[in-house]
Structure 1
């Protein structure tokens, strides 16, 4: 893996040396090369402006990069910036995915209770994902509550465990989970393990070898060591979920690593939110996993054969209702979809708010539509609050987030910066203290347009929604309100950094 990356950087260095050598030794060739680079850049920008379907901000950002660094910018765009909806997926993957989703949509009608609530109905009409009753939802605050719950569910698995993460470290908590998976695989439980090819690029093959030897299956989603790198490098699978026996599921903000237990020196507290769902709504998490599994395996997997048998299908998609009877609706989507289902569902909930909108996100870089929805809500008198990190884990994203403070504060949005010795990584929205959204998507352009994401919608002020409200109130107490006066007196260097990050934010 690392050798491939070294090769790529070596190639870039060699090309740069050749270019500067030509410029140094031959003025004529240098002129030709410069005009050629300029022509290529102009053609790339014209293609971007005329034929690309991405948002205006993204087009402007890419155009600025390409024109500022003609040849290098065009190369970076070719690798990271091409419109994902132009990618031609393997025919078998497309065919099997369509067959599977068609089956799930037909099956979902039997559990659909979306008509009981206008917000759920609108989201179903937009995205096709129905709201399902008969569930129990528990909110798991931070790694201290999340990992023990996941380990307990894994250790009690009887038929299958489906586990998927963007980041899965090689450390103590990761080894505990892997070893629990190995133990169940040896007990003839089907274990399928899926990671993102970039997020887990540093995970050594030796870490997963014992799992495979025990009978588990493990794949990477769009590996970065691939001849199709230019099609996938910037399009990552950011979902995090565990499904056990089809009736218990976990999703939310936590990946797997010691930092999520606050066991690293970088942050005193890693603040995050996960949920556990029990009941028929877990089928939507299972559906998301199966579609990703089809993609990662090239549709060459025994799981598809099992799902074609009615009895085995029922083992993966049981319909047993929980006595708690809570309504749950999960929406997933990604860069290859025609519509931005995850973002649009979140905006539908924001626009439905009557009194308040509370948002927690580690990376707050909204597109124009999302920013406008928040500003309109605040200007109309609703209690709109946004909580973001007081200290970032990545400088560009942190400055990008801060660059939106002026837009938010001027509209009346209350902005809170979480304690600067810790990091808030939760991706949560609370609407009117009645409905909540928890999942994997940040409130940023990358999650809206470039990542494969998943968000779960909770309705009607259940105990889970009440727990989310309590956590929000605690987070506000641990945060510092950002005032317009203090923000306007930030240093000149910070202003420059924010402006540059704001320009580049649509392509980060």
Structure 2
């Protein structure tokens, strides 16, 4: 009887909707159009008068809203709202402050003679460089995954693992099964993945982890219209911390394509970094900062900042003499710490700036800095993909090639049967940055990102330099003739992508 009543109710509702559409469709369409246009005007006024984002982003949003009113207005409400207006719970604010204050109170090596650039970045970000590390550059998945798997299998106390994309293929399953095995043996395992980037992770894939006692968080999952405003603000970090002593970060997510097992590309070119020693403290800080944000409860930080917690999670031993400075930031920070630190690195150049990035869509300030450095006679070289994985980003990157060449930079397209996904910078052959941030507006303004800054002429620096030289050999140098001979359709795609780049 109950099902019959439900069926009759649904039928009546559908008949009423049909009656309204048949008799008042024109009026409804007119009213809807007026409401959407009014919303667009209100949004434009708000952007012009009250929004603090950069001018190019405002212009891009206004263009989309007025050219495509319906799609533009809906997209703005989903993706375009200023992250600075995001409200946090009292627990999230208080627990983060407790964590940061406790970690920054740990004695460090600031009495050492600090690298000059690191002082500027420390003054900018309040994150100090740390000595006492062994740094290893890992080229592509072929080098990265065997080292990562070995370190995971040797974990004795805890594993903290965070990825933007974690798939369900062979390498993903292998890592999951190691986490399960370690959790069953008594190792603490905390697993965090981005709620959108890894949205395809199924309950069945995660079930063995939960059964083994692994703690799991999806970062800002899109589970309801109420929190859809975070859909465009993603956690792009890739972090693994093992026993508070070994850390990994860089460009590689977890999936078979990251070890070149994909029909789309012959080679997936990427760069990861392994840190053993004191700077792992800062990778741990970044991970736990995100973890307690998702815990969202009073006392979430207490386990990690008690006397025993500090000893367990923040007591790495010296493993070398190299310096490292881990800078992390995101859309909710007042300043763009990651971007500005990268610009400080570029601005310190005397001889050369080499950059590799899968997406080269700089904002106005970043473009101005790198063009000025190139025009000053510094050897500026940038490697971008010769074949893209996403059309709008690929064309958006190519839209900046001409202006960079005009400034005196050398722009390279990586092999057109492969994909370059590495995020790295090398300045004067003696200073570098490697991590998760692309050289684009999304990484600078919308994503949660992390970069590791290096300051020693070490084997790691030489390894990175060799990789760059090999990548130049595997790439094609753009010329002004290439720019002049571009087909009209390609130019249109690049112009449109460039217009939309501030909101990509």
- Specify whether residues 114 and 202 from structure 1 end up closer, same or farther in structure 2 by C-alpha distance, changes over 3 A only: farther
Alpha-carbon shift at residue 31 of structure 1 (Å):
4.3
State the partner residue of 2:375.
Answer: 379
How many aligned residue pairs are there?
488
- 8 Å CA contact 1:111–1:133 kept in 2: the answer is yes
- 8 Å CA contact 2:244–2:316 kept in 1: the answer is no
State the partner residue of 2:475.
Answer: 479
Between the aligned partners of 1:47 and 1:484, the Cα distance in structure 2 is 41
Between the aligned partners of 2:276 and 2:129, the Cα distance in structure 1 is 14
Alpha-carbon shift at residue 71 of structure 1 (Å):
3.3
Work out which of the two has the higher radius of gyration on C-alpha atoms and give 1 or 2.
Answer: 2
User: Secondary structure of the equivalent of 2:105?
Assistant: helix
State the partner residue of 2:304.
Answer: 307
1:370 to 366, 372, 394: 366
Between the aligned partners of 2:360 and 2:22, the Cα distance in structure 1 is 44
Alpha-carbon shift at residue 151 of structure 1 (Å):
0.8
Deviation per residue, 1:356-405 (Å, 9 max, x gap) = 00000000000011111111111110000000000000000000000001
- 8 Å CA contact 2:96–2:301 kept in 1: the answer is no
Moved more, 284-293 or 310-319: 310-319
Deviation per residue, 1:269-315 (Å, 9 max, x gap) = 000000000001000000000000011222468x6332242123211
1:426 to 422, 426, 431: 422
Structure-to-structure mapping, 1:68-467, within 5 angstroms: 68-107=67-106, 110-112=108-110, 116-299=114-297, 304-322=301-319, 324-467=320-463
State the partner residue of 1:7.
Answer: none
State the partner residue of 1:43.
Answer: 42
Between the aligned partners of 1:437 and 1:70, the Cα distance in structure 2 is 41
Question: Deviating runs (4+, > 4 A) in structure 1?
Answer: 20-25, 28-32
State the partner residue of 1:64.
Answer: 63
Between the aligned partners of 1:352 and 1:23, the Cα distance in structure 2 is 69
State the partner residue of 1:34.
Answer: 33
- 8 Å CA contact 2:247–2:275 kept in 1: the answer is yes
State the partner residue of 1:4.
Answer: none
Between the aligned partners of 1:239 and 1:341, the Cα distance in structure 2 is 14
- Specify whether residues 22 and 459 from structure 1 end up closer, same or farther in structure 2 by C-alpha distance, changes over 3 A only: farther
Between the aligned partners of 2:410 and 2:140, the Cα distance in structure 1 is 24
Alpha-carbon shift at residue 230 of structure 1 (Å):
3.0
Structure 1 unaligned blocks of 5 or more: 1-13
Deviation per residue, 1:21-78 (Å, 9 max, x gap) = 699943x554444333222210011111211111111111001111112233112101
User: Secondary structure of the equivalent of 1:385?
Assistant: strand
Between the aligned partners of 1:374 and 1:23, the Cα distance in structure 2 is 60
- 8 Å CA contact 1:441–1:454 kept in 2: the answer is yes
Between the aligned partners of 1:97 and 1:304, the Cα distance in structure 2 is 7
Alpha-carbon shift at residue 91 of structure 1 (Å):
1.2
Between the aligned partners of 1:297 and 1:211, the Cα distance in structure 2 is 18
- Specify whether residues 39 and 275 from structure 1 end up closer, same or farther in structure 2 by C-alpha distance, changes over 3 A only: same
- Specify whether residues 29 and 199 from structure 1 end up closer, same or farther in structure 2 by C-alpha distance, changes over 3 A only: closer
- Specify whether residues 445 and 23 from structure 1 end up closer, same or farther in structure 2 by C-alpha distance, changes over 3 A only: farther
Between the aligned partners of 2:428 and 2:24, the Cα distance in structure 1 is 65
Moved more, 70-79 or 399-408: 70-79
State the partner residue of 1:9.
Answer: none
Q: Taking structure 2 as the reference length, what is the TM-score of the superposition?
A: 0.94
Structure 2 unaligned blocks of 5 or more: 1-13
Alpha-carbon shift at residue 320 of structure 1 (Å):
1.2
Q: Taking structure 1 as the reference length, what is the TM-score of the superposition?
A: 0.93
Between the aligned partners of 2:114 and 2:302, the Cα distance in structure 1 is 36
- 8 Å CA contact 1:114–1:132 kept in 2: the answer is no
User: Secondary structure of the equivalent of 2:361?
Assistant: coil
Across the aligned residues of Structure 1 and Structure 2, the Cα RMSD in angstroms comes to: 1.9
- 8 Å CA contact 1:113–1:131 kept in 2: the answer is no
Between the aligned partners of 1:31 and 1:125, the Cα distance in structure 2 is 56
Deviation per residue, 1:323-361 (Å, 9 max, x gap) = x21000000000000000000000001001110000000
- 8 Å CA contact 2:98–2:301 kept in 1: the answer is no
State the partner residue of 2:5.
Answer: none
- 8 Å CA contact 1:92–1:298 kept in 2: the answer is yes
User: Secondary structure of the equivalent of 1:116?
Assistant: coil
User: Secondary structure of the equivalent of 1:276?
Assistant: strand
Between the aligned partners of 1:438 and 1:160, the Cα distance in structure 2 is 25
State the partner residue of 2:10.
Answer: none
